[in-house]
Amino acid sequence: DGGITQSPKYLFRKEGQNVTLSCEQNLNHDAMYWYRQDPGQGLRLIYYSQIVNDFQKGDIAEGYSVSREKKESFPLTVTSAQKNPTAFYLCASGGRSGPPKGANVLTFGAGSRLTVL
Amino acid sequence: SQQGEEDPQALSIQEGENATMNCSYKTSINNLQWYRQNSGRGLVHLILIRSNEREKHSGRLRVTLDTSKKSSSLLITASRAADTASYFCATVSNAGGTSYGKLTFGQGTILTVHP
């Protein structure tokens, strides 16, 4: 089955620790995205990548880092600089090669819930 | 900043009734999409409407787009208890050439359908 896999589903972090959330897709999508969801605030874009070895900051990139070394993988590191990391993190992918580039329907993973102790 | 703002924030109806959710946005878009999210899960794409389209249907879903007012609405007809979920609009902007664009989501509408 084609899809997008996030792990772990639940993660607990002590203050001052970095943690990395995994996101893998086998949909042959060019673009991948990380969103953060807090209660009542919808989804906010952290980082996105449209091609291997390239990525752009979203609206709330501070305290986060990403890499895109392979087309299939887009891990997100929540660093100790992120002051309020407790949230639900959603990874998504979209956009196959070729036009129209704007028809970018996203497929989402099941999410990772991070709690800071 | 949030591109899409949705109204109402919460909607409670009885099975069989229609549910209408609205979305407003601020800048020009390539297309607008609606997604559904069951509690604690990922989002699922429902429907996409392009900036040059005014209305689109998919099963019990009807989406309209008014680019002059920068607004869209999602109508779910003959609602069922299984439609209970959060619904989000997402706008795609700056797409074209080699860019897939940026998807920005609204705050969402929580729909509860009572049996």
Q: Cβ A88–B99 below 8 Å, yes or no?
A: no
A98 touches chain B (CB under 8 A): no
pLDDT in tens, B64-115: 999 999 999 999 999 999 999 999 999 988 766 667 777 889 899 999 999 9
Closest CA to A37 of A88, A99, A104: A88
Tell me which of B65 and A2 has the higher pLDDT.
B65
Confidence of residue B2 (pLDDT cuts 50, 70, 90): very low
Give yes or no for A60 touching B (CB within 8 A): no
CB-based contacts of B100, cutoff 8 Å, min separation 6? A30, A31, A50, A94, A95, A101, A102, A104
Phi, psi of A99 (to 5 degrees): -75, 165
Closest-CA residue of chain A to B34: A105
Cβ-nearest to B92 among A44, A92, A104: A104
Q: Which two tokens stand for residue B3?
A: 């591109």
Amino acid letter, A27: L
Distance CA A94, CA A77 (A): 21
Option in A40, A90, A104 nearest B101 (CB): A104
CA pair distance A23, A35, nearest whole angstrom: 12
List, for residues A21-62, the tens digit of each pLDDT value. 999 999 988 899 999 999 877 899 999 998 999 999 999 999
Res B1: pLDDT: 43
CB-nearest partner of B100 from A30, A41, A107: A30
Q: B8 in contact with A at a CB cutoff of 8 Å? A: no
Backbone torsions φ then ψ of A39, nearest 5 degrees:
-55, 130
